[in-house]
Amino acid sequence: MNSVPANRRLWNRISSAYQHAHDPQIGASPRLWGMYSVPDAHLGALGDVAGKRVLELGCGAGQWSRSLAAEGAGVVGIDLSEAQLAAAAAAMGEDRYPLVQGAAEQLPFADFSFDLVFCDFGGLSWAPPHRAVPEAARVLRPGGRLVFNVASPWFEACYDEPAGRVSTTLRQDYFGLSAIGEGDGATSYQLTYGDWVRVLRGAGLVIDDLVEPRPEIGTPNGYNETDPPDWAHRWPAELLWVTHKA
């Protein structure tokens, strides 16, 4: 299935409203992961990036890329949506970095181009992982790292579609998790734990860690309602994979 055209249309259509709603949270300070803005300083997932060649896969308005460029990384931001890339260009700081339009499924970069490929609910949430993970691995140099944050299967399986919130009841089949319709053909993706392991290992990646960010009680979810409100303090809402290329 090719979800590139529909995902591009979706993100071009929602970019302005999305940035209006979420940029203040995503960009509040450097290196905040996910729906609960858990600081990387608490998780230690990304590591030192100074002097490294870094690719953000599905960079959106570039809140992460901007921070890493300021830390001295040679960052490239890639995104499918020209509206999202325009938001990134408009928000770029003094430390300029290149923005490229393209899809995580077919990266326009040579093999071994990067020391670190990463994203936070970016290309590995919005492109089929069995295509995007091998592409990310291809552009990494041996020893380079792929680090990415996605929704957890728990979160997806407990999502109560009619109520529009995450609940404590299993609503979706765990073994049915793969493509999630986002309207008008747009699609996001999720895998079971076992399928993530197989896709990562199949691409020649070594799994160093699976961090499960745990927000403090009272930390708001900037994107979804949950019932109970402290859902993500009790169950893992996100998976932060830390891997490297063998």
Exactly one of 32, 43, 54, 122 binds ligand SAM (CB under 6 A); which one?
122
Match 């077919």 to its residue by tokens. 106
Give the separation between CA 151 and CA 149, rounded to whole angstroms: 7
Q: By rule CB under 6 A, what string of x and - marks binding of each residue 13-52 to ligand SAM?
A: -------------x--------------------------
Q: Look up residue 137 and give its two tokens.
A: 């691995």
Task: Give min distance, CB of 61 to ligand SAM, in A.
Answer: 6
Can you tell me whether residue 112 is helix, strand or coil?
coil
Which is closer to ligand SAM, CB of 81 or CB of 226? 81
Exactly one of 115, 120, 135, 156 binds ligand SAM (CB under 6 A); which one?
120
Give the separation between CA 38 and CA 29, rounded to whole angstroms: 11
Task: Give min distance, CB of 124 to ligand SAM, in A.
Answer: 9
Can you tell me whether residue 44 is helix, strand or coil?
coil
Match 């680090």 to its residue by tokens. 147
Which is closer to ligand SAM, CB of 87 or CB of 158? 87
**Helix residue ranges, H only, the chain:** 4-26, 40-43, 63-70, 82-91, 123-126, 129-139, 153-157, 193-202, 231-234
**Residue whose CB is nearest to ligand SAM in the complex, by number:** 60
Exactly one of 36, 126, 155, 189 binds ligand SAM (CB under 6 A); which one?
126
Q: By rule CB under 6 A, what string of x and - marks binding of each residue 74-113 to ligand SAM?
A: -----xxx--x------------------xxx--------
Total residues in contact with ligand SAM, by rule CB under 6 A: 20
Which is closer to ligand SAM, CB of 12 or CB of 192? 12
Q: Look up residue 176 and give its two tokens.
A: 């049915």
Task: Give min distance, CB of 29 to ligand SAM, in A.
Answer: 14
Which is closer to ligand SAM, CB of 119 or CB of 158? 119
**Binding to ligand SAM, residues 186-215 (CB under 6 A):** none
221 in contact with ligand SAM (CB under 6 A): no
**Residue among 133, 145, 155 at smallest CA distance from 202:** 133
**Residue among 141, 168, 181 at smallest CA distance from 54:** 141
Residues 6+ apart with CB under 8 A from 118: 46, 54, 55, 56, 57, 64, 145, 146, 147, 148
Match 């399928």 to its residue by tokens. 195
Which is closer to ligand SAM, CB of 88 or CB of 158? 88
- Chain residues binding ligand SAM by CB under 6 A are 4, 7, 11, 26, 58, 60, 64, 79-81, 84, 103-105, 120-123, 126-127
